[in-house]
């Protein structure tokens, strides 16, 4: 494994916030994330009390429920040195949006702020905080990468996954001109306005297919599920995966998103 940041305290207690989608839909991303964090030298904790960051409520204007869920997350995670989520969007929710939920409540704002400051998205945490440069991973494929909106615009994640991908043996990155374009997911948006969302993910799929890549990689399961669903519905053979699976080397044993595997 590549260079690491040795200036950090020992042990580094990291609370893994798996996110509700990974927890329920694709546990293998959680295991991959855990593996990467442990290999980077973190002491891993997976609080059982975790469910969801509250983003669906927050983005629906339901701040009361969002607040209640935030209280859960804060209580479950505030004891760790860092909180890491394999999702830019859930990490951004905690980091950038929790504080706004508790305006006027000094105690909660302070607790929020302290949690915000130590909450990170997985891939950027590994490079920026843990100083990892590579995982000695191998993945024989051409791939294109999707920059998820929250990760890109709220968390500043762009170069980090690319640096990690560059060190993966056999992986050839084929950038799409639309890598930074929204896939049309937007949580409940895709449920409430499926036709509009569908057109956006269609355009996105065109761009992905145009790269000729065999695999679509990304760092947010919501977007990945959305794109893989559309690609599969279009009959595309492109396989969709979270980048953590590739880096952790769990990809060969895990069917791509939406694919049938024999593993149960």
49 or 106: CB nearest other proteins: 49
**Whole-angstrom Cα distance, residue 226 to residue 242?**
13
C-beta of 5 vs 72, nearer to other proteins: 72
Give dist(CA 260, CA 159) in Å, integer: 32
Footprint on residues 229-258 left by other proteins (CB under 8 A)? 229-230, 232-233, 254-255, 257-258
Answer whether the bond into residue 11 is a cis peptide, omega within 30°: yes
Smallest distance from the beta carbon of 5 to other proteins, in angstroms?
24
Cis peptide before 223 (omega within 30 of 0): no
Report how far residue 188's alpha carbon sits from residue 244's, in angstroms, rounded to the nearest whole number.
25
Which residues within the stretch 6-35 sit at the binding site for other proteins (CB under 8 A)?
A: 18, 20, 22-31, 34-35
Q: Closest approach of Cβ 256 to other proteins, in Å? A: 9
Could you say which of 43, 117, 136, 192 contacts other proteins (CB under 8 A)?
Answer: 192
- The residue from 164, 228, 241, 244 that contacts other proteins (CB under 8 A) is 228
Token output for 184:
């049309």
Contact assessment for residue 94 and residue 115, using Cβ atoms and an 8 Å cutoff = yes
Told to check if 124 binds other proteins by CB under 8 A, we report no
In 75-233, where do the E strands start and end?
82-85, 119-121, 138-146, 169-173, 215-218
| Total residues found in the chain within this entry | 264
Over the window 133 to 162, marking each residue x when it contacts other proteins by CB under 8 A and - when it does not, the resulting string is ----------------xx--xx--------
Nearest to 115 by CA among 156, 151, 70, 147: 70
Q: Which pair of tokens denotes residue 67?
A: 């607040």
Q: Which of 65, 140, 175, 253 binds other proteins (CB under 8 A)?
A: 65
Residues that bind other proteins in the complex, under the rule CB under 8 A: 18, 20, 22-31, 34-35, 46, 48-52, 54, 56-63, 65, 68-69, 72, 149-150, 153-154, 180-182, 184-186, 188-190, 192-193, 195-197, 199-200, 203, 225-226, 228-230, 232-233, 254-255, 257-261, 264
């Amino acid at each position: 494994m590549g260079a690491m940041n040795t200036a950090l305290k020992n042990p580094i207690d990291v609370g893994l916030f798996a996110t509700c989608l990974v927890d329920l839909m694709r546990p293998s991303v959680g295991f991959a994330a855990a593996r990467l964090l442990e290999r980077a030298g973190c002491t891993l904790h997976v609080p059982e009390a975790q469910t969801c960051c509250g983003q669906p409520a927050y983005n629906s204007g339901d701040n009361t429920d969002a607040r209640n869920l935030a209280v859960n997350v804060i209580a479950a995670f505030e004891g760790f040195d860092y909180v890491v989520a394999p999702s830019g969007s859930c990490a951004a929710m905690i980091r950038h949006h929790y504080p706004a939920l508790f305006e006027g409540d000094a105690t909660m704002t302070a607790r929020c702020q302290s949690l915000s400051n130590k909450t990170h998205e997985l891939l950027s945490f590994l490079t920026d905080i843990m100083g990892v440069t590579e995982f000695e991973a191998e993945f024989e494929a051409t791939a294109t990468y999707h920059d998820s909106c929250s990760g890109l615009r709220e968390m500043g994640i762009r170069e980090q996954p690319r640096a990690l991908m560059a060190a993966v043996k056999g992986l050839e990155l084929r950038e799409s001109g639309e890598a930074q374009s929204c896939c049309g997911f937007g949580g409940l948006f895709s449920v409430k306005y499926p036709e509009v969302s569908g057109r956006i993910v269609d355009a996105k799929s065109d761009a992905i297919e145009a790269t000729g890549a065999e695999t679509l990689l990304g760092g947010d399961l919501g977007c990945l599920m959305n794109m893989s669903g559309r690609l599969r519905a279009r009959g595309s053979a492109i396989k969709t995966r979270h980048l953590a699976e590739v880096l952790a080397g769990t990809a060969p044993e895990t069917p791509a998103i939406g694919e049938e595997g024999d593993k149960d």
